[in-house]
């Protein structure tokens, strides 16, 4: 059993862990229960400003169609008025970019490797590529906060009290180089799934989102869910991804 991934062991396939990576200067706000939620537009503009994909993504909440050998045809005359070797069409519903969201990392059972089995306890640690470790430390921060199910419950309870609407789920990574009839149908039907689309380029981020679907903000929104110090564990990003171990009872 030692050396296997948790998802290879029957009964452990659905084990997961929510982690918030952040700079240490923002730690107290999070532990105090002040959830700082930027809107989608922040991330759209961030890539445009930095010219880099990472935290920023100019294709957030959009339907993307990429193609080769593009022709622009005049609908009145049928004449070709322009051509291109490649093209990209981006559709987005007005207003969705103003929804506030809070992003976490969701490590799943396949991200854990078993290091010890003893006294009816399985010990495991996060085991991801060095490239992914560097991504989290350099892009998202040197501090990691491990969150329990209580965090999700608090987010739901607090948003419901204020009638903000909330959608929670893992990001659905997809290859935007290929056209998807399902993705187009979901876009046309204004499916909530639109809020969870990202290109495969970002797959390493393992993102899960908490989105306030009834709230529109120009910059950010602060949701207060109450102190979560006793419902979370703080460690360093480096230690979490290379040293920290976790125990699970044998089923």
The CA dihedral of 76, 81, 85, 91, to the nearest 10 degrees, is -50
CA atoms 145, 151, 155, 158: torsion sign? negative
Question: Looking at the domain assignment, is residue 28 inside a domain?
Answer: yes
The answer to whether the CB of 244 falls within 8 A of the CB of 235 is yes
**Which is higher by pLDDT, 87 or 7?**
7
Which residues pair with residue 114 across a beta bridge?
124
Question: Looking at the domain assignment, is residue 116 inside a domain?
Answer: yes
Least confident of 7-21, 30-44, 77-91, 162-176: 77-91
The answer to whether the CB of 55 falls within 8 A of the CB of 23 is no
Question: Looking at the domain assignment, is residue 84 inside a domain?
Answer: no
pLDDT digits (tens, 9 = 90+) for 60-99: 999 998 875 656 677 778 887 766 556 688 999 999 999 9
Q: Report d(CA 4, CA 251) in Å as an integer.
A: 16
70 φ, ψ (degrees, to nearest 5): -85, 140
The answer to whether the CB of 222 falls within 8 A of the CB of 35 is yes
CA atoms 49, 54, 59, 61: torsion sign? negative
Nearest to 39 by CA among 87, 84, 101, 95: 101
Least confident of 49-58, 83-92, 167-176, 204-213: 83-92
Nearest to 145 by CA among 226, 234, 228, 26: 234
Question: Looking at the domain assignment, is residue 76 inside a domain?
Answer: no
Q: How many domains, in total, are found in the chain?
A: 1
Question: Looking at the domain assignment, is residue 87 inside a domain?
Answer: no
How high does pLDDT run on average in the chain?
94
State the residue range of the domain holding 20: 6-64+93-249
Token reading at 235: 């460690």
The answer to whether the CB of 164 falls within 8 A of the CB of 214 is yes
Place of tokens 């990576």: 21
Nearest to 37 by CA among 155, 145, 173, 202: 155
pLDDT of residue 78: 80
The answer to whether the CB of 4 falls within 8 A of the CB of 111 is no
Question: Looking at the domain assignment, is residue 101 inside a domain?
Answer: yes
Question: Looking at the domain assignment, is residue 73 inside a domain?
Answer: no
pLDDT of residue 186: 97
Question: Looking at the domain assignment, is residue 204 inside a domain?
Answer: yes
50 φ, ψ (degrees, to nearest 5): -85, -15
pLDDT of residue 68: 59
Reduced to 3 states (helix: H, G, I; strand: E, B; else coil), residue 86 is strand
């Amino acid at each position: 059993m030692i050396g296997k991934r948790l998802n290879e062991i029957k009964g452990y396939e659905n084990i997961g862990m929510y982690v918030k990576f952040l700079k240490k200067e923002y730690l107290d706000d999070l532990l105090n229960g002040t959830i700082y939620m930027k809107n989608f537009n922040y991330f759209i503009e961030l890539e445009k400003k930095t010219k880099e994909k990472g935290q920023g993504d100019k294709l957030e909440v959009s339907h993307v169609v990429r193609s080769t050998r593009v022709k622009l045809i005049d609908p009145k005359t049928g004449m070709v008025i322009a051509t291109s070797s490649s093209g990209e069409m981006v559709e987005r519903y007005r207003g969705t970019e103003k929804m506030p969201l809070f992003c976490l990392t969701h490590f799943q059972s396949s991200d854990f490797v078993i290091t010890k089995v003893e006294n009816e306890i399985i010990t495991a640690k996060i085991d991801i590529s060095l490239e992914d470790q560097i991504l989290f430390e350099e892009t998202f921060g040197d501090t990691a906060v491990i969150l329990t199910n209580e965090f999700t419950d608090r987010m739901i309870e607090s948003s419901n009290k204020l009638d903000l609407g909330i959608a929670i789920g893992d990001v659905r990574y997809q290859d935007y180089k290929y056209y998807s009839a399902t993705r187009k149908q979901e876009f046309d039907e204004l499916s909530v799934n639109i809020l969870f689309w990202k290109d495969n380029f970002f797959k390493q981020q393992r993102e899960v989102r908490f989105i306030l679907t009834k709230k529109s903000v120009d910059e950010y929104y602060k949701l207060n869910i109450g102190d979560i110090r006793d419902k979370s564990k703080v460690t360093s990003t480096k230690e979490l991804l290379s040293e920290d171990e976790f125990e699970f009872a044998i089923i």
